[in-house]
Structure 1
Amino acid sequence: MSLDLGVIGNGTIAGLINSRGDYQWFCLPRFDGQPVFNQLLGGNGTFNVWMEGLAKRSQTYDRNTAILRTRMESEDGAIVEIVDFAPRFEHKGRMFRPASIVRRFEVIAGSPQLRISMRPETDWGGRQLRPIRGVNHVRFVDDEFAFRVTTDAPVSYILSETTFILDRDTTFILGADESLTDSPGVIARDWEERTRQYWAKWARGLAVPFEWQEEVIRAAITLKLCVFEETGGIVAALTTSIPEHEGSSRNWDYRYCWIRDAYFTVTALNRLSGMGTLEHYMRWVRNIVAHSKGGHIQPVYGIGLEADLSEDMAPHLPGFRGMGPVRRGNQAAEHVQHDVYGQVLLGVAQSFFDRRLLSQPGIAEFEQLEPVGERAFAVYDTPDAGIWEFRTIAHVHTSSAIMCWAACDRLARIAESLGLEARQKYWSERASIIHATILEKAWNPEIGAFTAAFGGEDLDASVLLMAEIGFLPASDERYIGTVNAVDRDLREGNHVYRYKVEDDFGKPKTAFTACTFWFIDALYRVGRVDEARAMFESVLSARNHVGLLSEDVDPETGELWGNYPQTYCMVGIINSAALLSKPWAAVT
């Protein structure tokens, strides 16, 4: 079991597939739903493919799309390609993105012999869904759950898991428990071509850097797959409970919307001119702010704005490589994390300035956001769980204070753009007070760096973001000193740790790849450009076979750990490539 997995999706559902054509993870009816295919966490919910005499296999995406192609070749030269995708395209004036997946088998050469097993589960591996066969379909049902798989393959072979010769192209469509309007092959071909056109058109509209275009496009498409389009929420990853390192018990459910992850995702796609995500996200954030009524904002919500994400264990799943526990829900929703106030403002600030948006926010939206700034100013110098969500540790975290400064600073800028002189002065004064406090209490002259917490001695890579958001210029000697300290104490080879002190679960044993990208960007900003480029290339080489990254990497082995695919990391690819690339004007 590994994280060498391709990802398909459409903004409603997503699936993870290995290079043998096996579904490792697929939830219904949305990202955070029941994992009906759950082998990734040791379950028996399968949609698997076995090929007689399998000798070679490979997996790629069709160019600039989310259409995944798995190629399998047997010892006797028979070749089959499996095309997997989730339909997504414009239809009758709106986006068609059903909770459906399509799987097509194309015979390329010879007479491939296949066995296809389909045993979906529910209750988090607690029981198998009951199959009810039809002439050309199988209904999988439970007391409160049902979906249908329609196919032009022999249904008897599928249900009995009999090996058969695939002598023609074959299609499976998994979706709602209702009849199709045409044959599965005809529908699948139509959906595939329209989905291909959608992704190609979307990728064509991205303002990519000259260098690393394929890497950036793949990262952008993957980020798009992590947006639950119905509400605008953006999940941190598509999985739960992949441990941060072997036997760590650092197993978390990431299928929810962290405000900070969403902020990073929105800004990265904005950088590429993917403006639609910002408009969806603005609606999601406005709902959160309205619900908070000027008070506490949770760091994480459900994709449908659910506030209660009560965490418990799934007893029937042993976990990734047997390394439980498997968690569903996330206790972080109960945490106090002050950085969220800055991330709310940072995430939506561009919408007040960007004239390309179809709906431009104005004074009413600004006034709705002001209570977020008031909350930031009230709590910026009080303890919280911090960006890394410590469960039993509370400090006045520097990164949280910096984000509270950002909340007040962005409100001042927005007020100025709206011609609200008194409000601009008001928020500028508050930003100045926070700024001065951070410089006084977070800078440690003995270490020569900004520390993780006020009055502390430990380092935290998250403080590197202060230059990106404008808290200090990268030329400031204190920022340069912080970069040097992180280089000295948190870097191992070409990977960077979040921190190296003990937390609730001991010392971290894997590097946090988002921090590596933050450090690469910091190197560029302080003028160490060649070193930044070399490090960026090294991190790109850690991606899996389809160009994706999980949350963590083992610096010694290069193995991927943590939930997958991780939006932080896809953001890092986009941001670092944009900084480091040669400009188009220099090469055209």
Structure 2
Amino acid sequence: MDQPPISDYGFLSDCRSGALVGRDGSVDWWCPDRFDAPSVFGRLLDPAGGYWRLAPLGPSRVERAYQPDTLVLRTVHHTPEGSVAVTDALAAELGARGHQLGMNSPAVLLRVVEGLGGRVRMGLDFAPRPEYGLLTPYLHEQPDGAVVAVAGPVALTLRSNGPALRAGRDRVRQEFEVTAGQCVGFDLAYAPVHGEPPARMDPLTTLAETVQAWQAYRGLHHYDGPYVEQVRQSATVLTGLTYTRSGAVAAALTTSLPERCGGDRNYDYRYSWLRDFAMTMRAFWVAACPTEANRLFVWAARAIGRIGDEPVPVLFGLEGERDISEHELEHLRGYAGSRPVRIGNDAWRQRQLDVPGEVISAVWRLHDYLGETFDEELREMVVGLAEQVAATWRLPDHGMWETRDAERHHLSSKVLCWSALHRAVQVAPRLGERADPRRWAAIRDEIRDTVLRDGWNDRIGAFTGVFGSAELDASALLLPMSQFLPATDPRMRATIDAIERELGNDDGLVRRWDSDPAGFVLCSFWLVECLLLAGEEGRARRLFEQVLGHANDLGLFAEQVDLRTGAQLGNTPQALSHIGLINAAWRFADLSSG
């Protein structure tokens, strides 16, 4: 493995795009236009994909942390000659405060070097490669000491408040010295090549403004339940994954980081999944972010649009785009040689019957805030989804893990079909004349009987992932979490115990199924919630704190964790992992309150 571990990366965001910066000072991922745009730094997926390294020339001991309540990262390098700090951020708009964060982000990457002691020789190596590494730019020195990199549709302007920058043939590579008390700032501005050149920014002033913008934003949200530090950090990560212009939450910052190094389950997660909707809404409410929850709700309603006979897609683009067809970037080697590298995600074409349940559950959660009578669009959406469930729940589907083989009758899909109609019946008085709660309730009860009959496997004494299968699946943990069946029910207790015994390990990790190569962070937090619902607070707390230990030094989770090595795997930072943390922490608060 000739690339840094996934856990080495810190996450920067301006709520429009995101970047990953390694412990070695290299920015190896940045898609500056928006989260799902082509990268200009893509070394994460190929050594030739572009990067920007800024670090001491020799070896150093690294300490790093976010500035409180921000995604502004400060990395301290201790060398034999002295110590230096590099502070990295994606710039906020000057003067942005509160919920303005991310509305008009300037697409500027800030890097400020501060001498802390001694005399440290620094190296700057700037090698952008736009269009996922397909383009090598022309570099042009400017009279003010800046360098402009131009390729295809992209112009990148690198400036410094220190020595003038000197362009090589395809990169900027130079050295400079920093002494105690000295600050050298850099700003890298993205702009379309045919647009106006970006305005000059003072990197130190803009960095201070960015810190204030983040802290003012977090100051609007007050969570005082258990595990305050971890919940606030996870809420900050979710904010960083929110595309503020629409309110959509990207599932992760990256594409094609593998579930297993060398494997081919490498997918693009830079979109917004309706399946994650109810869990995300609950996480925002727990973390006291009601404005974000409401904006996410509006985005979903508009993305879904008027409902017809076709299944509602499970995922959309960040501005509600429906067609996000998948293709492969064959020129990229992939992280640690894991091919293919995919752009787009063909899961949008799949039938996944659980999606309406997530959306209607979110409506039910918000119903007190949506008024005694829903507006026409909201009524049409809920009624349309309920009718779609009533007509299709008997069909097989690809399930919540989005398998790319044959459709099956997945337990979790049927349970969420039940949930869709259960919640639709509860909000029916607000849905107008088209609501049909009597018929919905009858179908809901038929679904319940079917799940209890066909989802239970007598031979293994547990609910399984697919009707008629003997294979355990962690998605069965959704039964008590969706209020389908109490966690104290003997069948559910047996299922929880079987999943913990057969799919869990001594480090608190839970796999999705028996052949899954790694622990799935969300499922591990689901088990915590189920143990709490079953009255096992001691076991739940021990497990929760074990799972917390798998975050990196900045509190970031990827999607999965290797059972053998403890290495993070999959796309990062993963929204569902942090959502799982927030919601599990809330269960402890809910338990203590009554």
| Structure 1 length-normalised TM | 0.91
> SS of the counterpart of 2:577?
helix
- In 2, Cα distance between equivalents of 1:220 and 1:153: 36
- In 2, Cα distance between equivalents of 1:482 and 1:192: 51
**Percent of aligned pairs sharing the same letter:** 29
Taking a change above 3 Å as real, the CA distance of residues 81 and 582 of structure 1, as seen in their structure-2 partners, is farther
- In 2, Cα distance between equivalents of 1:93 and 1:371: 32
Give the match for residue 536 of structure 1. Answer: 544
Amino acid at match of 2:298: R
Instruction: State whether residues 135 and 151 of structure 2, in contact with CA within 8 Å, keep that contact through their aligned partners in structure 1.
Output: no
Shift of 1:216: 0.9
Give the match for residue 407 of structure 1. Answer: 420
The CA deviation string for residues 204-260 of structure 1, in whole angstroms up to 9 with x for no partner, is: 343434432111111111011111122222211111111112222211111111211
Matched, 1:565 2:573: yes
- In 2, Cα distance between equivalents of 1:564 and 1:262: 19
Amino acid at match of 2:177: I
> SS of the counterpart of 1:127?
coil
Instruction: State whether residues 129 and 141 of structure 1, in contact with CA within 8 Å, keep that contact through their aligned partners in structure 2.
Output: yes
Aligned runs of 1:240-251 on 2, under 5 Å? Answer: 240-251=255-266
The CA deviation string for residues 91-121 of structure 1, in whole angstroms up to 9 with x for no partner, is: 6995432322222222222332111111111
Which residue among 112, 136, 141 is the counterpart of 1:133?
141
> SS of the counterpart of 2:165?
helix
Tell me whether 480-489 or 193-202 shows the greater mean CA deviation.
193-202
Matched, 1:546 2:554: yes
Aligned runs of 1:251-266 on 2, under 5 Å? Answer: 251-266=266-281
Instruction: State whether residues 408 and 431 of structure 1, in contact with CA within 8 Å, keep that contact through their aligned partners in structure 2.
Output: yes
Which residue among 164, 167, 172 is the counterpart of 2:176?
164
Give the match for residue 451 of structure 2. Answer: 438
Taking a change above 3 Å as real, the CA distance of residues 96 and 304 of structure 1, as seen in their structure-2 partners, is closer
Give the match for residue 511 of structure 2. Answer: 497
Instruction: State whether residues 209 and 581 of structure 1, in contact with CA within 8 Å, keep that contact through their aligned partners in structure 2.
Output: no
Give the match for residue 473 of structure 2. Answer: 460
- In 2, Cα distance between equivalents of 1:521 and 1:513: 13
Matched, 1:2 2:12: no
- In 1, Cα distance between equivalents of 2:162 and 2:306: 50
Taking a change above 3 Å as real, the CA distance of residues 232 and 378 of structure 1, as seen in their structure-2 partners, is same
The CA deviation string for residues 536-560 of structure 1, in whole angstroms up to 9 with x for no partner, is: 1111111111011111111222111
Give the match for residue 59 of structure 1. Answer: 64
Instruction: State whether residues 529 and 540 of structure 2, in contact with CA within 8 Å, keep that contact through their aligned partners in structure 1.
Output: yes
Gaps of 5+ in 1: 501-506
Instruction: State whether residues 72 and 87 of structure 2, in contact with CA within 8 Å, keep that contact through their aligned partners in structure 1.
Output: no
The CA deviation string for residues 27-70 of structure 1, in whole angstroms up to 9 with x for no partner, is: 13111111111111123301102313333212110111111111
Instruction: State whether residues 124 and 316 of structure 1, in contact with CA within 8 Å, keep that contact through their aligned partners in structure 2.
Output: no
Taking a change above 3 Å as real, the CA distance of residues 298 and 488 of structure 1, as seen in their structure-2 partners, is same
> SS of the counterpart of 1:48?
strand
Q: Give the CA RMSD over aligned residues.
A: 2.6
Give the match for residue 491 of structure 2. Answer: 478
> SS of the counterpart of 1:80?
strand
Amino acid at match of 2:419: A
Shift of 1:289: 2.4
The CA deviation string for residues 79-100 of structure 1, in whole angstroms up to 9 with x for no partner, is: 2333334315636995432322
Give the match for residue 504 of structure 1. Answer: none
> SS of the counterpart of 1:391?
coil
Give the match for residue 189 of structure 2. Answer: 175
- In 2, Cα distance between equivalents of 1:181 and 1:210: 43
- In 2, Cα distance between equivalents of 1:344 and 1:295: 16
Shift of 1:395: 0.8
Shift of 1:139: 1.9
> SS of the counterpart of 2:29?
strand
The CA deviation string for residues 120-156 of structure 1, in whole angstroms up to 9 with x for no partner, is: 1123212222222212322221232223223223333
Matched, 1:336 2:351: yes
Instruction: State whether residues 41 and 52 of structure 2, in contact with CA within 8 Å, keep that contact through their aligned partners in structure 1.
Output: yes
Tell me whether 49-58 or 332-341 shows the greater mean CA deviation.
49-58
Instruction: State whether residues 415 and 421 of structure 1, in contact with CA within 8 Å, keep that contact through their aligned partners in structure 2.
Output: no
Tell me whether 391-400 or 366-375 shows the greater mean CA deviation.
366-375
- In 2, Cα distance between equivalents of 1:525 and 1:406: 18
Matched, 1:154 2:163: yes
- In 1, Cα distance between equivalents of 2:516 and 2:98: 51
- In 2, Cα distance between equivalents of 1:103 and 1:77: 19
Taking a change above 3 Å as real, the CA distance of residues 47 and 294 of structure 1, as seen in their structure-2 partners, is same
Tell me whether 172-181 or 318-327 shows the greater mean CA deviation.
172-181
- In 1, Cα distance between equivalents of 2:480 and 2:263: 33
Shift of 1:363: 5.4
Instruction: State whether residues 495 and 511 of structure 1, in contact with CA within 8 Å, keep that contact through their aligned partners in structure 2.
Output: yes
Which residue among 380, 383, 394 is the counterpart of 1:367?
380
| Structure 2 length-normalised TM | 0.91
Taking a change above 3 Å as real, the CA distance of residues 181 and 533 of structure 1, as seen in their structure-2 partners, is same
